Amino acid sequence: MFRYLRTHVAWKMFFSYLLVVLVGFIVLAAATRLSVPSAFERHMSGMMPGEETMMGGMMGNQTMQMDLFQNYQAAVNEALSLAVAAALIAAIFASFFISRQIVEPIQKMKAISHRIADGDYAERLAITGDGQLNQLDELDQLSHSFNQMADKLEQTEQMRRELIGDVTHELRTPLAAIKGYMEGLIDGVIPATPQTYQQVHAEADRLQRLVNDLQELSIVEGEAYQLNLVSIQPKSLIETIVNQFSYAFEEKGLQLTHVVQADLPDIFADTDRIQQVLTNLLGNALQYTPEGGKVELTVSENKSEMLFSIRDSGIGIPAEQLPLVFNRFYRIDKSRARLSGGSGIGLTIAKALVLAHHGRIWVESAGEAQGSTFSFALPISTKESQ
């Protein structure tokens, strides 16, 4: 019996109402038993003398007075019994009505959660209230939070499926090319020239870069690493990155400039990880900026943040695609990215690394063929405050 009560909220609520009625009855009965005799005597003694004489004549003795008191007390008890019965009926209806309002959403949530566990993310809880979240009652707020959780799980599952599909597609292309070259070499259709081997090597190298990027993405998004936080001078950091990319930009015919604000404070960050962020962003600008274009790297202090910006004169980004840029395997120009061998996850890695430093990252663009600006901001802090 008690186990059944512990597992059913509706019966818990009913017995809680019943307990309230019972306690109220006990208190009321005790108060009635203690107060009725004294109240009766007080009212009897306060009656007019004429009335007392008349009543004395009618009763004749003390026994009749006791009968009057007992009848009065019986009337009080009868009224109390009727009140308790009415309270019990009200408690039954109230517990039934309120438990339906509480238990049914919980049971619905339980059923939907089981379906979500089985992979069905379509159903959501109904929210009866209207208005802002802070104007809803606790049950509607719980339903709203549950629906948000279901939405996140559905998005995660969709991203997982897309990731599997994207990885399969990305791996299939170089593997198919390598297999085709090898079959051609075996059949003698393709000559065994250095150019053929170079093409096979290029596809294998592309495949290796993709696997390395996927491994890096797994490590970064899974936070399976520790940041080696040290004091970094922004100027020396930028000079190192510019020196690394100067030859690649010159070879493509691009102009790379950098502007570093004077007297910048040091930032406390992981040097290798921030260099990786800048490398991914500059590599993206190099890839999507046509020959003769310009790329400018700027660093400045913005209140309590260090702001890094990479502005290019490349192909630009349509407004509707700006929120998708940091998604895995997303490409603005898929054909050009494929020819250049980009994996499409460099920006995803950059975003994860910036967020790991408690920073923020975003992209701006006026539209197609109007260039774009990738920016990220890191908090300016001391080692003691980390």
> 92-106, 249-263, 273-287: which has the minimum mean pLDDT?
92-106
Cα–Cα distance measured from residue 209 to residue 203, given in angstroms and rounded to the nearest whole number: 10
Query: What tens digit of pLDDT does each residue of 180-209 get?
Result: 989 988 988 888 888 888 988 888 888 888
Asked if pLDDT for residue 353 goes beyond 50, the answer is: yes
Q: Which position has the token pair 């000559």?
A: 191
For the stretch 78-87, pLDDT in tens is: 767 777 777 7
pTM above 0.85, yes or no: no
The Cβ of residue 319 has, within 10 Å, a number of other Cβ atoms equal to 11
CA end-to-end distance (rounded Å), the chain: 55
Q: Percent of the chain beyond pLDDT 90?
A: 28
What does the pLDDT read at residue 59?
44
The 3-class secondary structure across 75-136, one letter per residue, is HHHHHHHHHHHHHHHHHHHHHHHHHHHHHHHHHHHHHHHHHHHCCCCCCCCCCCCCCCHHHC
Q: Which of 289, 284, 363, 296 is nearest to 323 (CA)?
A: 363
Q: Is 131 exposed, middle or buried (0-12, 13-18, 19+ CB in 10 A)?
A: exposed
What pLDDT was estimated at residue 133? 63
The mean per-residue pLDDT over the stretch 234-256 comes to: 93
Number of neighbouring beta carbons within 10 Å of residue 254: 21
What is the distance between the alpha carbons of residues 10 and 7, in angstroms, rounded to a whole number?
9
Query: What is the dihedral angle through the alpha carbons of 297, 300, 302, 308, rounded to the nearest 10 degrees?
Result: 30
**Are 127 and 144 in contact, with CB atoms under 8 Å apart?**
yes
Going from the C-alpha of 135 to that of each of 124, 129, 142, 172, 266, the distances in angstroms are 20, 8, 13, 52, 46
pLDDT digits (tens, 9 = 90+) for 73-120: 776 677 677 777 777 777 777 767 766 767 777 888 888 888 888 888
The predicted structure's pLDDT at residue 386? 44
The residue type of 190 is: I
**What are the residues facing 363 on neighbouring strands?**
374
Residue 214 reports pLDDT greater than 70: yes
pLDDT of residue 223 exceeding 80, the answer is no
Please write the tens of the pLDDT for every residue from 128-174: 766 666 666 677 778 888 888 888 888 778 877 877 777 787 788 88
What pLDDT is recorded for position 279? 93
Share of the chain above pLDDT 70, in %: 72
What's residue 260's pLDDT? Answer: 94
At 42 the pLDDT is 59
* Range of weakest confidence among 112-116, 170-174, 262-266, 285-289: 170-174
Q: Which of 45-49, 292-296, 339-343 has the highest mean pLDDT?
A: 292-296
| Average pLDDT value over all residues in the chain | 79
Q: Write down the pLDDT at residue 285.
A: 93
| Residues 6 or more apart in contact with residue 151 via CB below 8 angstroms | none
pLDDT given for residue 350 in this prediction: 92
* Amino acid making up residue 146: F
CB 125 within 8 A of CB 148: no
Decide if pLDDT at 277 tops 70. yes
Q: What is the pLDDT of residue 235?
A: 92
Q: Is 199 exposed, middle or buried (0-12, 13-18, 19+ CB in 10 A)?
A: middle
What is residue 3's predicted lDDT score, i.e. its pLDDT?
60
The token pair that represents 115 in the structure block: 């379906």
Long-range contacts of 31-35 (CB under 8 A, 24+ apart): 32/76, 32/77, 32/80
